[in-house]
Amino acid sequence: MGTPSPNRITTRITCMWLQCAQPRLAEHIRYAQRILNRYDTNPTPRERLMLQHMAANAHTTISRLLDDLAADWQSAGPIQRRLLAATDRYATPIMRRLQTVATTDTKETHP
């Protein structure tokens, strides 16, 4: 068994920090991941449309929570700034994917 990569360690620390310091943001990110996982399981056209709306809502909520978190940047110490940056790196791919799902053309799934 090898040692975990630094990126994986940073992700774990970021997730633990989110659980303790920002539980609402952590909860919404987990919710977004569940939406994306369900979207990847070949849902029915009706489910797909519902998941697209849910993805749009999750994107908006997470974006707002990240903006609130970024407002603390100026008063944050060096460790908290690193955690804020790591949180942004952790959330960015999820946010991109939510945006992609939310803006997918539904004409392909609905005649």
| Domain extents in the chain | 23-108
Percent residues over pLDDT 90 in the chain: 51
- Contact by Cβ (8 Å): 98, 62: yes
DSSP state of 40: T
Q: Which helix (H) or strand (E) holds 48?
A: helix 45-70
pLDDT digits (tens, 9 = 90+) for 45-82: 999 999 999 999 999 999 999 999 888 778 888 888 88
Would you say the pTM of this structure is higher than 0.85?
no
Going by pLDDT thresholds of 50, 70 and 90, the confidence category of residue 6 is low
pLDDT of residue 109: 47
